[in-house]
Structure 1
């Protein structure tokens, strides 16, 4: 299942993702946390074995055809079980229902990226399979090692 993957090393804390999400949904479902040495954007991970889905007593949380975890607002009773179950603390109760990132289903249906991903100027957010992300990270690391090795090689 594809999802929004985050490379904190590329995040410059511009908050363009937050603004894009708010523009698309009327509120932001991604938050950029700033620390002394870095910034980390955080949103729903749409976990493969989603604890929030398992904890929901009414079945309000479900997966769409692409695997995104969505909320059926007609079934949500605002009990906070999803909030307590989420290891990242992502779900929020707004009014009496849970709200969170839905991976922009209308945009995905049109073959577009979630707006936060499309808007990110540095590529800190990508929409891809975790295995693809892992392979690209390994390749980038190998390229850095090869460059370092070439720089340290004795001259001819």
Structure 2
């Protein structure tokens, strides 16, 4: 399998400016962000992104096949046309990343790694502190 890239977070560098969240909103034409920044129990800014898990619980619990692991990219992809809106993927994600689209209440919002941009993930590109990077994993 070829190496894939995942978003990596350096919490020591994150200042909680929310530029990553704004970049996500802009990248998705004003839709809700697919990421967020929370404050951890030890008072550190903690950006939350889809981890595109090797063994994704969201995929295993998806009864309709809308969530699936793309073996060529290594990403967890979402097909809204197949989605049954059961929210099992939301409940199964151990990181609390997935959420419903608050406008439609019928779709799931998850990071798509900005595959529609030639330069890739906009949160990575726009982070002024370099706290969000892409790391290659095998």
Category of TM-score, reference length = shorter chain: 0.7 to 0.9
The offset of 1:115, in angstroms, is 0.2
CA RMSD of aligned residues (A): 1.5
Count of residue correspondences = 128
Verify the 8 A CA contact 1:53 1:62 in the aligned structure 2.
yes
- Alpha carbons of 1:79 and 1:7: their partners in 2 closer, same or farther (altered >3 Å)? same
Q: Return 52-61 or 91-100, whichever deviates more.
A: 91-100
2:47 to 27, 41, 44: 41
TM (norm. structure 1) is 0.76
Is the aligned partner of 1:100 residue 2:110?
Answer: yes
C-alpha distance in 1 between matches for 2:97 and 2:44: 20
C-alpha distance in 2 between matches for 1:91 and 1:33: 15
C-alpha distance in 2 between matches for 1:40 and 1:73: 28
- For structure 2, the 5+ residue unaligned runs are none
1:16 to 16, 19, 23: 19
The offset of 1:113, in angstroms, is 3.0
Is the aligned partner of 1:60 residue 2:99?
Answer: no
The offset of 1:50, in angstroms, is 0.6
Counterpart secondary structure, 2:85: coil
Bigger helix fraction: 1
> For the pair shown, which has the larger CA radius of gyration, 1 or 2?
1
4+ residue stretches of structure 1 with deviation over 4 A? none
- Alpha carbons of 1:10 and 1:66: their partners in 2 closer, same or farther (altered >3 Å)? same
Query: Higher RCO, 1 or 2 (CA under 8 Å, sep at least 6)?
Result: 2
- For structure 1, the 5+ residue unaligned runs are 132-156
